[in-house]
């Protein structure tokens, strides 16, 4: 018999033994390469425990953490997988929480991680962007993260100013964090095999930006990228009673040329625009 915290067998065989199938509605693609799992966990363990694992699935990452004796709360939405992990990891340092990560209230994370922690996970493609946005909201609780996402999503999150991948999430992370693409994971490392490759990224939130300024940042960035083919002077600004005239004043106050397009403005420029909008 396999010890509770050891790496999983083939996901195909394990799922068959459990009478389960990958659920497309949950974007389930299970990591089948133990070397990749160890590499991801190695990156995560550069940061201090305890760990929050998002979407443990069959436990490829969870097992490595359990072997190391790391304290983990693994949140899994799939009831069958959660039951399997509880049985398999009983007696280890891992607690399985059956829940939707996106729906768990902040106070619950504060209760479980009173001194904060490190997040990691193989994020289902279906919730990649919402999960990253949620981690941004929880950045004071989880100031570090190691995440595996769809490769094109990682490219977008880590994009630099001026590229076609540069967008809203690129700006958020550019202002609030140091984000780095670590390595690519080929699609053949998963079961079932997805249509795209994945990539692993590390995120370290930095600075102490007050929440009202972050809210202002969200407002101005969404406006700027609403019509990214147009210049910034033509952005929709229903949040400004004075309309476009005031918007152009704010752009100039932030040192941004209204004739530029959204992808041409660096994160620091958007932070300056948010400060001008919030009067901070």
The closest of 148, 124, 8 to 64, measured between CA atoms, is 8
pLDDT tens per residue across span 97-150:
999 999 999 999 999 999 999 999 999 888 899 999 999 999 999 999 999 999
Asked if residue 68 belongs to a domain, the reply is yes
- N residues, the chain: 280
Residue 23 scores a pLDDT above 60: yes
Answer whether residue 53 shows pLDDT above 60: yes
Assess whether 100 and 56 both reside in one domain.
yes
CB 72 within 8 A of CB 62: yes
pLDDT of residue 54: 97
pTM for the predicted model, two decimal places? 0.91
| pLDDT exceeds 90 at position 228 | no
CA dihedral 217, 219, 221, 223 (to 10 degrees): -160
Mean pLDDT of all residues belonging to the chain: 93
CATH of the domain at 134: 3.40.50.150
Do 239 and 185 fall into the same domain? no
Same domain for 194 and 114: yes
How many percent of the chain have pLDDT more than 90? 85
Of the candidate ranges 12-26, 108-122, 152-166, 177-191, the one whose mean pLDDT is the lowest: 12-26
Of the three residues 178, 205, 232, the one that is the final residue of a domain is 205
Q: Is residue 167 part of a domain?
A: yes
Q: 168-176 vs 267-278: helix axis angle to the nearest 10?
A: 80
> CA-CA distance, 29 to 78, in Å (whole number)?
13
Is residue 121 a part of any domain in this protein? yes
Provide the residue range defining the domain that includes 248.
Answer: 211-278
SS3 70: coil
The partner residues of 200 in beta bridges, in order of sequence, read: 148, 183
Helix (H) or strand (E) holding 51: strand 51-54
* CATH for 225: 1.10.8.100
Residue 3 lies in a domain: no
Q: Count structural domains, the chain.
A: 2
Task: Say whether both 35 and 164 belong to one domain.
Answer: yes
**Token pair for 179:** 């984000």
Q: Which residues pair with 31 in a beta bridge?
A: 190
CA–CA distance, 1 with 91 (Å, rounded to integer): 15
The answer to whether the beta carbons of residues 63 and 7 sit under 8 Å apart is yes
| Predicted pLDDT of residue 9 | 58
In this structure, the answer to whether residues 52 and 171 fall within a common structural domain is: yes
User: Nearest Cα to 28, choosing from 117, 106, 123?
Assistant: 123
Q: How far is CA 143 from the centre of its chain?
A: 12
């Amino acid at each position: 018999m396999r010890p509770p915290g050891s790496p999983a067998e083939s996901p195909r065989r394990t799922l068959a033994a459990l009478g389960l199938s990958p659920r497309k509605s949950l974007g389930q693609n299970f990591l089948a390469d133990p070397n990749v799992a160890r590499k991801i966990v190695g990156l995560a363990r550069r940061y201090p425990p305890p760990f929050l694992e998002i979407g443990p699935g069959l436990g490829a990452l969870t097992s490595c953490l359990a072997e190391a004796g790391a304290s983990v709360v693994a949140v899994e939405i799939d009831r069958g997988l959660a039951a399997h992990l509880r049985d398999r990891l009983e007696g280890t340092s891992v607690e399985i929480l059956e829940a939707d990560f996106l729906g768990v209230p902040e106070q619950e994370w504060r209760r479980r991680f009173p001194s904060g922690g490190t997040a990691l996970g193989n994020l289902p493609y279906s919730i990649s962007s919402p999960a990253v946005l949620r981690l941004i909201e929880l950045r004071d609780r989880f100031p570090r993260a190691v995440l595996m996402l769809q490769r094109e999503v990682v490219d977008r999150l880590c994009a630099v100013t001026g590229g076609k991948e540069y967008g809203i999430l690129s700006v958020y992370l550019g202002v609030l964090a140091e984000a780095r693409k670590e390595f690519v994971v080929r699609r053949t490392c998963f079961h079932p095999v997805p249509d795209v490759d994945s990539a692993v990224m590390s995120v370290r939130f930095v600075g102490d930006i007050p929440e009202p300024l972050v809210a202002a940042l969200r407002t101005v960035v969404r406006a700027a990228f609403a019509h990214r083919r147009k210049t910034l002077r033509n952005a929709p600004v229903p949040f400004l009673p004075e309309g476009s005239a005031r918007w152009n004043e704010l752009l100039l106050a932030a040192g941004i040329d209204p004739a530029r397009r959204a992808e041409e403005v660096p994160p620091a420029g958007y932070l300056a625009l948010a400060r001008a909008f919030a009067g901070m």
